[in-house]
A and B are shown apart, each in its own frame.
Chain A
Amino acid sequence: MGQNCYITFSSIHQAIRAEKLLEKKRYAYKMVPVPRSISSSCGSALQCTCQDITALGNFLGDKNIEIEGLYRVKEAKLRALSVEKLS
Protein backbone atom coordinates (compact mmCIF):
# COMPACT_ATOMS: atom_id res chain seq x y z
CA MET A 1 0.00 0.00 0.00
CA GLY A 2 1.22 3.50 -0.77
CA GLN A 3 0.01 6.98 -0.64
CA ASN A 4 0.26 9.84 -3.11
CA CYS A 5 -0.84 13.39 -3.03
CA TYR A 6 -2.41 15.23 -5.96
CA ILE A 7 -3.18 18.79 -6.93
CA THR A 8 -5.96 19.28 -9.46
CA PHE A 9 -6.61 22.29 -11.66
CA SER A 10 -9.50 24.02 -13.38
CA SER A 11 -8.02 23.46 -16.85
CA ILE A 12 -5.02 22.05 -18.67
CA HIS A 13 -3.84 25.62 -19.22
CA GLN A 14 -3.61 26.08 -15.45
CA ALA A 15 -1.93 22.69 -15.01
CA ILE A 16 0.81 23.51 -17.52
CA ARG A 17 1.21 26.95 -16.03
CA ALA A 18 1.75 25.33 -12.64
CA GLU A 19 4.29 22.95 -14.12
CA LYS A 20 6.18 25.87 -15.65
CA LEU A 21 6.26 27.78 -12.39
CA LEU A 22 7.71 24.71 -10.69
CA GLU A 23 10.40 24.12 -13.31
CA LYS A 24 13.17 25.64 -11.25
CA LYS A 25 11.87 24.59 -7.84
CA ARG A 26 13.25 21.65 -5.96
CA TYR A 27 10.03 19.77 -5.37
CA ALA A 28 9.60 16.24 -6.61
CA TYR A 29 6.45 16.13 -8.73
CA LYS A 30 5.03 14.65 -11.89
CA MET A 31 2.11 15.45 -14.16
CA VAL A 32 -0.11 12.38 -14.30
CA PRO A 33 -3.59 11.42 -15.44
CA VAL A 34 -6.03 12.26 -12.65
CA PRO A 35 -7.04 9.13 -10.74
CA ARG A 36 -10.74 8.50 -11.30
CA SER A 37 -11.26 8.47 -7.56
CA ILE A 38 -10.73 12.23 -7.63
CA SER A 39 -13.08 14.44 -9.53
CA SER A 40 -11.36 17.12 -11.55
CA SER A 41 -12.13 19.51 -14.37
CA CYS A 42 -8.84 18.75 -16.03
CA GLY A 43 -7.50 15.36 -17.06
CA SER A 44 -3.99 15.94 -15.74
CA ALA A 45 -2.99 16.44 -12.13
CA LEU A 46 0.22 17.16 -10.34
CA GLN A 47 1.36 14.23 -8.24
CA CYS A 48 3.71 14.99 -5.37
CA THR A 49 4.79 13.75 -1.98
CA CYS A 50 2.41 14.31 0.89
CA GLN A 51 5.14 16.20 2.77
CA ASP A 52 5.31 18.80 0.02
CA ILE A 53 1.69 19.20 -0.90
CA THR A 54 0.84 22.05 1.45
CA ALA A 55 3.90 24.05 0.45
CA LEU A 56 3.22 23.36 -3.22
CA GLY A 57 -0.42 24.33 -2.88
CA ASN A 58 0.51 27.58 -1.16
CA PHE A 59 3.19 28.39 -3.69
CA LEU A 60 0.85 27.85 -6.65
CA GLY A 61 -2.05 29.59 -4.92
CA ASP A 62 0.14 32.67 -4.42
CA LYS A 63 0.81 32.66 -8.15
CA ASN A 64 -2.93 32.72 -8.84
CA ILE A 65 -3.05 29.23 -10.28
CA GLU A 66 -6.66 28.05 -10.35
CA ILE A 67 -6.37 25.01 -8.10
CA GLU A 68 -9.43 22.82 -7.68
CA GLY A 69 -8.27 20.66 -4.84
CA LEU A 70 -5.47 19.02 -2.89
CA TYR A 71 -5.90 15.30 -2.24
CA ARG A 72 -4.26 12.45 -0.38
CA VAL A 73 -4.99 9.08 -1.93
CA LYS A 74 -4.12 5.75 -0.38
CA GLU A 75 -3.56 3.28 -3.18
CA ALA A 76 -2.89 -0.41 -3.57
CA LYS A 77 -2.87 -2.64 -6.64
CA LEU A 78 -4.08 0.18 -8.87
CA ARG A 79 -7.05 0.82 -6.65
CA ALA A 80 -7.81 3.79 -4.49
CA LEU A 81 -8.47 2.65 -0.93
CA SER A 82 -9.28 6.07 0.43
CA VAL A 83 -9.38 9.62 -0.79
CA GLU A 84 -9.00 12.53 1.55
CA LYS A 85 -9.59 16.07 0.34
CA LEU A 86 -7.07 18.26 2.08
CA SER A 87 -8.46 21.57 0.87
Chain B
Amino acid sequence: MTGNKNNIYFDNAATSWPKPETVYHSAEIHMRSAFGNPGRSGHTRTLAADRLIYRVREKTADFFNIADPARIAFTLNATDALNMAIKGLLEKGDHVLYTAMEHNAVLRPLTRLKTEGIIETTMIPCSDEGDPDLVFLENAYRPSTRLLIINHASNVVGTIVPIKRMIESAHQRGVPALVDTAQSAGCIKIDIQADDIDLLAFTGHKSLLGPTGTGGLYVRPGLDLKPLREGGTGSQSELDLQPENMPERLEAGTLNSTGLAGLLAGIDYIEDRGLDNIHDQEKKIRAYLYERLLDIKGITVFGPPETDRCTCVVSFNLGDTDCGSLGHILENRYGIFCRTGLHCAPYAHRTIGTFPAGTVRISPGIFTKTDDIDYFIKALKEIATLTGI
Protein backbone atom coordinates (compact mmCIF):
# COMPACT_ATOMS: atom_id res chain seq x y z
CA MET B 1 0.00 0.00 0.00
CA THR B 2 3.04 2.26 0.24
CA GLY B 3 2.67 5.33 -1.91
CA ASN B 4 -1.10 4.97 -2.08
CA LYS B 5 -1.63 8.50 -0.85
CA ASN B 6 -4.92 9.37 0.63
CA ASN B 7 -6.28 12.46 2.22
CA ILE B 8 -7.46 11.25 5.56
CA TYR B 9 -7.94 13.95 8.11
CA PHE B 10 -7.68 12.62 11.65
CA ASP B 11 -7.10 15.92 13.43
CA ASN B 12 -10.64 17.05 14.16
CA ALA B 13 -9.79 17.66 17.83
CA ALA B 14 -7.48 20.45 16.61
CA THR B 15 -9.99 21.85 14.14
CA SER B 16 -12.74 20.05 12.27
CA TRP B 17 -12.53 19.40 8.54
CA PRO B 18 -14.33 19.18 6.24
CA LYS B 19 -17.14 21.45 7.35
CA PRO B 20 -20.70 20.91 6.15
CA GLU B 21 -21.23 22.62 2.75
CA THR B 22 -23.73 24.98 4.35
CA VAL B 23 -20.99 26.39 6.59
CA TYR B 24 -18.84 27.45 3.61
CA HIS B 25 -21.88 28.79 1.86
CA SER B 26 -23.22 30.75 4.78
CA ALA B 27 -19.88 32.44 5.52
CA GLU B 28 -19.41 33.29 1.85
CA ILE B 29 -22.90 34.70 1.42
CA HIS B 30 -22.38 36.80 4.49
CA MET B 31 -19.12 38.25 3.22
CA ARG B 32 -20.52 38.93 -0.25
CA SER B 33 -23.70 40.57 0.99
CA ALA B 34 -23.54 44.10 2.20
CA PHE B 35 -23.93 43.44 5.88
CA GLY B 36 -22.96 46.41 8.01
CA ASN B 37 -20.98 46.44 11.22
CA PRO B 38 -23.21 44.90 13.90
CA GLY B 39 -24.25 47.38 16.59
CA ARG B 40 -22.70 50.33 14.75
CA SER B 41 -24.95 52.89 13.08
CA GLY B 42 -28.61 52.31 12.56
CA HIS B 43 -28.99 51.77 8.81
CA THR B 44 -30.68 48.72 7.46
CA ARG B 45 -27.48 46.91 6.52
CA THR B 46 -26.27 47.16 10.06
CA LEU B 47 -29.65 45.96 11.22
CA ALA B 48 -29.27 42.94 8.97
CA ALA B 49 -25.97 42.20 10.71
CA ASP B 50 -27.58 42.79 14.11
CA ARG B 51 -30.30 40.30 13.27
CA LEU B 52 -27.75 37.73 12.21
CA ILE B 53 -25.76 38.12 15.44
CA TYR B 54 -28.98 37.88 17.38
CA ARG B 55 -29.86 34.61 15.64
CA VAL B 56 -26.46 33.09 16.33
CA ARG B 57 -26.71 34.11 19.97
CA GLU B 58 -30.18 32.67 20.25
CA LYS B 59 -29.16 29.46 18.47
CA THR B 60 -26.13 29.05 20.74
CA ALA B 61 -28.27 29.69 23.81
CA ASP B 62 -30.77 27.04 22.72
CA PHE B 63 -27.98 24.63 21.98
CA PHE B 64 -26.61 24.87 25.54
CA ASN B 65 -30.05 25.45 27.12
CA ILE B 66 -29.12 28.95 28.27
CA ALA B 67 -32.19 30.92 29.38
CA ASP B 68 -30.93 34.39 28.45
CA PRO B 69 -28.91 34.60 25.21
CA ALA B 70 -27.57 38.02 26.26
CA ARG B 71 -25.38 36.21 28.80
CA ILE B 72 -23.24 34.85 25.95
CA ALA B 73 -20.37 37.02 24.71
CA PHE B 74 -18.81 35.98 21.43
CA THR B 75 -15.04 35.56 21.50
CA LEU B 76 -12.21 34.61 19.17
CA ASN B 77 -12.08 31.01 20.40
CA ALA B 78 -12.05 29.02 23.64
CA THR B 79 -8.68 30.43 24.68
CA ASP B 80 -10.03 33.96 24.50
CA ALA B 81 -13.13 33.00 26.49
CA LEU B 82 -11.06 31.20 29.15
CA ASN B 83 -8.74 34.19 29.52
CA MET B 84 -11.73 36.49 29.86
CA ALA B 85 -13.25 34.31 32.57
CA ILE B 86 -10.03 33.73 34.51
CA LYS B 87 -8.67 37.26 34.35
CA GLY B 88 -12.09 38.88 34.65
CA LEU B 89 -13.10 37.03 37.79
CA LEU B 90 -10.02 36.44 39.90
CA GLU B 91 -8.64 38.95 42.33
CA LYS B 92 -5.67 39.16 44.63
CA GLY B 93 -5.68 36.43 47.24
CA ASP B 94 -8.05 34.12 45.37
CA HIS B 95 -7.42 30.40 45.21
CA VAL B 96 -8.24 28.30 42.13
CA LEU B 97 -8.76 24.57 41.64
CA TYR B 98 -8.20 22.99 38.25
CA THR B 99 -7.72 19.49 36.90
CA ALA B 100 -4.54 17.94 35.58
CA MET B 101 -6.24 17.49 32.21
CA GLU B 102 -6.42 21.23 31.52
CA HIS B 103 -5.17 22.72 28.28
CA ASN B 104 -2.54 25.45 28.17
CA ALA B 105 -5.43 27.84 27.49
CA VAL B 106 -6.15 27.45 31.20
CA LEU B 107 -2.72 26.55 32.56
CA ARG B 108 -0.86 29.52 31.15
CA PRO B 109 -3.22 32.27 32.32
CA LEU B 110 -3.27 30.63 35.76
CA THR B 111 0.50 30.38 35.87
CA ARG B 112 0.86 34.03 34.95
CA LEU B 113 -1.48 35.17 37.70
CA LYS B 114 0.25 32.86 40.14
CA THR B 115 3.73 34.04 39.19
CA GLU B 116 2.62 37.63 39.62
CA GLY B 117 1.58 36.77 43.16
CA ILE B 118 -2.10 37.40 42.50
CA ILE B 119 -3.61 33.94 42.97
CA GLU B 120 -2.83 30.55 44.45
CA THR B 121 -3.70 27.33 42.69
CA THR B 122 -4.17 23.63 43.38
CA MET B 123 -4.15 21.02 40.66
CA ILE B 124 -6.56 18.12 41.07
CA PRO B 125 -4.70 14.96 40.04
CA CYS B 126 -6.31 12.54 37.60
CA SER B 127 -6.02 8.79 37.03
CA ASP B 128 -4.00 7.55 34.08
CA GLU B 129 -7.29 7.34 32.20
CA GLY B 130 -7.95 11.02 32.85
CA ASP B 131 -10.53 10.81 35.66
CA PRO B 132 -10.18 13.53 38.31
CA ASP B 133 -9.63 12.41 41.90
CA LEU B 134 -12.91 13.49 43.47
CA VAL B 135 -11.77 12.70 47.01
CA PHE B 136 -8.80 14.98 46.51
CA LEU B 137 -11.18 17.67 45.25
CA GLU B 138 -13.36 17.43 48.37
CA ASN B 139 -10.34 18.18 50.53
CA ALA B 140 -8.79 20.84 48.36
CA TYR B 141 -11.15 23.74 48.97
CA ARG B 142 -9.97 26.68 51.03
CA PRO B 143 -11.92 29.63 52.38
CA SER B 144 -10.29 31.68 49.59
CA THR B 145 -11.25 29.27 46.77
CA ARG B 146 -12.94 31.40 44.14
CA LEU B 147 -13.09 29.16 41.08
CA LEU B 148 -13.08 25.53 39.96
CA ILE B 149 -11.94 24.98 36.37
CA ILE B 150 -12.84 21.77 34.58
CA ASN B 151 -11.85 20.57 31.13
CA HIS B 152 -15.06 18.78 30.16
CA ALA B 153 -13.35 16.30 27.83
CA SER B 154 -9.65 15.65 27.47
CA ASN B 155 -8.11 16.63 24.17
CA VAL B 156 -5.43 13.96 24.72
CA VAL B 157 -7.46 10.86 25.60
CA GLY B 158 -11.10 11.97 25.16
CA THR B 159 -12.16 11.19 28.75
CA ILE B 160 -15.39 12.96 29.68
CA VAL B 161 -15.31 14.31 33.20
CA PRO B 162 -18.35 14.14 35.58
CA ILE B 163 -18.89 17.90 35.59
CA LYS B 164 -22.22 17.77 37.35
CA ARG B 165 -20.81 16.07 40.44
CA MET B 166 -17.81 18.38 40.52
CA ILE B 167 -19.92 21.50 40.13
CA GLU B 168 -22.22 20.33 42.92
CA SER B 169 -19.23 19.93 45.18
CA ALA B 170 -18.03 23.44 44.31
CA HIS B 171 -21.46 24.97 44.79
CA GLN B 172 -21.69 23.45 48.27
CA ARG B 173 -18.82 25.82 49.13
CA GLY B 174 -20.23 28.72 47.15
CA VAL B 175 -17.51 28.34 44.50
CA PRO B 176 -18.46 28.93 40.85
CA ALA B 177 -17.26 26.58 38.10
CA LEU B 178 -15.77 27.38 34.72
CA VAL B 179 -16.15 24.57 32.17
CA ASP B 180 -13.89 24.34 29.12
CA THR B 181 -16.05 22.71 26.44
CA ALA B 182 -13.55 23.05 23.58
CA GLN B 183 -13.61 19.27 23.08
CA SER B 184 -17.15 18.48 24.17
CA ALA B 185 -19.42 21.09 22.59
CA GLY B 186 -20.94 19.54 19.50
CA CYS B 187 -19.97 16.02 20.64
CA ILE B 188 -22.05 15.51 23.73
CA LYS B 189 -25.11 17.18 25.18
CA ILE B 190 -24.33 20.13 27.43
CA ASP B 191 -27.13 21.65 29.46
CA ILE B 192 -26.20 24.78 31.38
CA GLN B 193 -29.23 24.50 33.62
CA ALA B 194 -29.13 20.76 34.34
CA ASP B 195 -25.37 20.84 34.91
CA ASP B 196 -25.62 24.15 36.79
CA ILE B 197 -22.66 25.68 34.96
CA ASP B 198 -21.59 29.18 36.00
CA LEU B 199 -19.11 29.95 33.23
CA LEU B 200 -18.80 28.04 29.98
CA ALA B 201 -16.14 28.57 27.32
CA PHE B 202 -16.67 27.15 23.85
CA THR B 203 -14.86 27.27 20.55
CA GLY B 204 -16.64 27.35 17.20
CA HIS B 205 -14.17 25.65 14.90
CA LYS B 206 -14.00 22.15 16.38
CA SER B 207 -17.09 19.98 16.83
CA LEU B 208 -19.48 22.89 16.39
CA LEU B 209 -18.23 22.79 12.77
CA GLY B 210 -17.90 26.55 12.36
CA PRO B 211 -14.99 28.62 11.00
CA THR B 212 -11.93 29.55 13.04
CA GLY B 213 -12.13 32.82 14.93
CA THR B 214 -15.45 31.97 16.57
CA GLY B 215 -16.26 31.03 20.14
CA GLY B 216 -17.93 32.36 23.21
CA LEU B 217 -18.25 32.69 26.94
CA TYR B 218 -21.45 32.16 28.89
CA VAL B 219 -21.60 34.05 32.17
CA ARG B 220 -24.28 33.21 34.72
CA PRO B 221 -26.50 36.16 35.74
CA GLY B 222 -25.08 37.79 38.85
CA LEU B 223 -21.47 37.04 37.97
CA ASP B 224 -19.89 40.23 36.67
CA LEU B 225 -16.55 39.88 34.97
CA LYS B 226 -14.07 42.69 34.58
CA PRO B 227 -13.63 43.06 30.81
CA LEU B 228 -10.33 41.89 29.40
CA ARG B 229 -10.68 44.22 26.43
CA GLU B 230 -12.29 47.60 26.25
CA GLY B 231 -13.39 49.57 23.23
CA GLY B 232 -16.18 50.35 20.86
CA THR B 233 -19.54 48.65 21.12
CA GLY B 234 -21.64 51.05 19.07
CA SER B 235 -23.75 51.62 22.17
CA GLN B 236 -23.52 54.22 24.94
CA SER B 237 -20.70 55.96 23.09
CA GLU B 238 -20.79 58.83 25.57
CA LEU B 239 -19.57 56.54 28.37
CA ASP B 240 -15.86 56.72 29.16
CA LEU B 241 -15.93 53.13 30.39
CA GLN B 242 -17.13 49.89 28.88
CA PRO B 243 -20.94 49.46 29.18
CA GLU B 244 -21.85 47.19 32.06
CA ASN B 245 -24.61 45.20 30.43
CA MET B 246 -24.02 41.89 28.71
CA PRO B 247 -23.02 41.10 26.04
CA GLU B 248 -21.46 44.54 25.31
CA ARG B 249 -19.50 44.39 28.56
CA LEU B 250 -17.33 41.64 27.09
CA GLU B 251 -17.63 42.40 23.37
CA ALA B 252 -15.41 45.36 22.56
CA GLY B 253 -14.51 45.66 18.90
CA THR B 254 -16.18 44.47 15.71
CA LEU B 255 -17.48 40.92 15.95
CA ASN B 256 -16.46 38.20 13.52
CA SER B 257 -19.86 38.23 11.86
CA THR B 258 -18.66 36.27 8.82
CA GLY B 259 -17.39 33.52 11.08
CA LEU B 260 -20.53 33.60 13.18
CA ALA B 261 -22.66 33.21 10.04
CA GLY B 262 -20.72 30.01 9.40
CA LEU B 263 -21.07 28.89 13.00
CA LEU B 264 -24.83 29.30 12.76
CA ALA B 265 -24.85 26.89 9.82
CA GLY B 266 -22.58 24.51 11.76
CA ILE B 267 -24.95 24.32 14.72
CA ASP B 268 -27.93 24.03 12.35
CA TYR B 269 -26.22 21.06 10.75
CA ILE B 270 -25.68 19.38 14.14
CA GLU B 271 -29.31 19.94 15.05
CA ASP B 272 -30.52 18.57 11.73
CA ARG B 273 -28.51 15.41 12.13
CA GLY B 274 -29.19 15.25 15.86
CA LEU B 275 -26.48 15.55 18.48
CA ASP B 276 -27.34 12.09 19.83
CA ASN B 277 -26.98 10.54 16.39
CA ILE B 278 -23.64 12.25 15.89
CA HIS B 279 -22.47 11.08 19.30
CA ASP B 280 -23.61 7.50 18.60
CA GLN B 281 -21.80 7.47 15.28
CA GLU B 282 -18.63 8.85 16.88
CA LYS B 283 -18.82 6.28 19.64
CA LYS B 284 -18.95 3.49 17.06
CA ILE B 285 -16.00 4.94 15.19
CA ARG B 286 -13.97 5.33 18.38
CA ALA B 287 -14.80 1.81 19.56
CA TYR B 288 -13.78 0.43 16.19
CA LEU B 289 -10.58 2.44 16.12
CA TYR B 290 -9.65 1.48 19.69
CA GLU B 291 -10.26 -2.19 19.04
CA ARG B 292 -8.33 -2.26 15.77
CA LEU B 293 -5.42 -0.41 17.37
CA LEU B 294 -5.15 -3.12 20.03
CA ASP B 295 -4.52 -5.61 17.18
CA ILE B 296 -1.19 -4.00 16.48
CA LYS B 297 1.87 -5.55 18.01
CA GLY B 298 3.86 -3.28 20.29
CA ILE B 299 1.20 -0.60 20.56
CA THR B 300 0.21 1.26 23.74
CA VAL B 301 -3.23 2.82 23.58
CA PHE B 302 -4.17 5.50 26.12
CA GLY B 303 -7.52 6.50 27.55
CA PRO B 304 -10.52 4.52 28.71
CA PRO B 305 -11.52 1.50 26.61
CA GLU B 306 -15.21 2.28 27.27
CA THR B 307 -16.42 4.58 24.51
CA ASP B 308 -19.37 5.71 26.62
CA ARG B 309 -17.23 8.02 28.61
CA CYS B 310 -15.16 9.44 25.78
CA THR B 311 -15.27 11.84 22.91
CA CYS B 312 -13.90 10.64 19.59
CA VAL B 313 -10.20 10.86 20.45
CA VAL B 314 -7.55 8.15 20.91
CA SER B 315 -3.87 8.54 21.76
CA PHE B 316 -1.23 5.87 21.25
CA ASN B 317 2.46 5.13 20.90
CA LEU B 318 4.01 2.45 18.76
CA GLY B 319 6.82 0.63 20.54
CA ASP B 320 9.65 3.01 21.22
CA THR B 321 9.20 5.03 18.01
CA ASP B 322 9.22 8.81 18.15
CA CYS B 323 5.62 10.01 17.85
CA GLY B 324 6.66 13.00 15.74
CA SER B 325 8.44 10.82 13.20
CA LEU B 326 5.50 8.45 13.17
CA GLY B 327 3.15 11.33 12.40
CA HIS B 328 5.47 12.48 9.66
CA ILE B 329 5.55 9.10 7.94
CA LEU B 330 1.79 8.75 8.27
CA GLU B 331 1.39 11.95 6.34
CA ASN B 332 4.17 11.54 3.82
CA ARG B 333 3.64 7.94 2.89
CA TYR B 334 -0.04 7.52 3.49
CA GLY B 335 -1.67 10.94 3.44
CA ILE B 336 -3.01 10.60 6.96
CA PHE B 337 -3.08 13.75 9.07
CA CYS B 338 -2.91 13.49 12.83
CA ARG B 339 -1.42 15.44 15.70
CA THR B 340 1.61 14.30 17.62
CA GLY B 341 3.44 15.58 20.68
CA LEU B 342 2.00 17.13 23.82
CA HIS B 343 -1.22 18.63 22.44
CA CYS B 344 -0.89 21.81 24.57
CA ALA B 345 -1.61 19.70 27.64
CA PRO B 346 1.66 18.94 29.45
CA TYR B 347 0.05 17.83 32.71
CA ALA B 348 -2.40 15.55 30.92
CA HIS B 349 0.64 13.83 29.39
CA ARG B 350 2.37 13.65 32.78
CA THR B 351 -0.84 12.08 34.08
CA ILE B 352 -0.97 9.35 31.46
CA GLY B 353 2.79 8.84 31.68
CA THR B 354 3.80 10.19 28.27
CA PHE B 355 5.67 13.35 29.22
CA PRO B 356 7.80 14.66 27.54
CA ALA B 357 7.68 12.17 24.68
CA GLY B 358 4.02 12.74 23.81
CA THR B 359 1.70 10.54 21.77
CA VAL B 360 0.11 10.24 18.35
CA ARG B 361 -3.46 11.45 18.59
CA ILE B 362 -6.14 10.25 16.22
CA SER B 363 -9.32 12.31 16.19
CA PRO B 364 -11.82 11.19 13.57
CA GLY B 365 -14.75 13.45 12.72
CA ILE B 366 -18.36 13.25 11.68
CA PHE B 367 -17.41 12.43 8.09
CA THR B 368 -14.96 9.62 8.98
CA LYS B 369 -15.82 6.17 7.62
CA THR B 370 -14.70 2.78 8.93
CA ASP B 371 -12.84 2.41 5.62
CA ASP B 372 -10.63 5.31 6.68
CA ILE B 373 -9.85 3.52 9.92
CA ASP B 374 -9.07 0.30 8.03
CA TYR B 375 -6.68 2.15 5.74
CA PHE B 376 -4.99 3.77 8.71
CA ILE B 377 -4.62 0.45 10.56
CA LYS B 378 -3.06 -1.12 7.49
CA ALA B 379 -0.62 1.76 7.27
CA LEU B 380 0.27 1.40 10.92
CA LYS B 381 0.84 -2.34 10.55
CA GLU B 382 3.12 -1.67 7.63
CA ILE B 383 5.06 0.90 9.66
CA ALA B 384 5.31 -1.51 12.58
CA THR B 385 6.85 -4.11 10.28
CA LEU B 386 9.18 -1.58 8.67
CA THR B 387 10.46 -0.34 11.99
CA GLY B 388 10.96 -3.86 13.32
CA ILE B 389 8.41 -3.69 16.11
The interface of chain A, by Cβ under 8 A from chain B, is 10-17, 19-20, 31-34, 39, 41-45, 66
Contact = CB atoms under 8 A, between A and B. Distances in A.
A13 B70 CA distance: 7
A14 B53 CA distance: 12
Interface in B42-81: 42-43, 46-47, 50-51, 53-54, 57, 69-70
Nearest to B43: A33
Contacts of B57: 13
- Among B40, B41, B50, B247, chain A packs the most CB atoms within 10 A around the CB of B50
B201 to A, nearest CB: 20
B38 interface: yes
- Size bin of chain B's contact surface: 20 to 34
A43 B70 CA distance: 17
B243 interface: yes
Contact of B39 (A12, A31, A34, A45): A12
Contacts of A45: 42
- Among A17, A39, A41, chain B packs the most CB atoms within 10 A around the CB of A41
Contact of A32 (B42, B54, B236): B42
- Among A11, A13, A17, A39, chain B packs the most CB atoms within 10 A around the CB of A13
A16 B238 CA distance: 22
A43 B40 contact: yes
Contacts of A20: 54
Nearest to B39: A12
B198 interface: no
Contacts of A11: 70, 235, 243, 245, 247-248
B335 interface: no
B54 A42 contact: no
B43 A16 contact: no
11 contacts: A10-B245, A12-B38, A12-B39, A13-B54, A13-B57, A16-B50, A16-B51, A16-B53, A33-B43, A42-B236, A43-B40
A50 B26 CA distance: 39
B234 interface: yes
Interface in B92-131: none
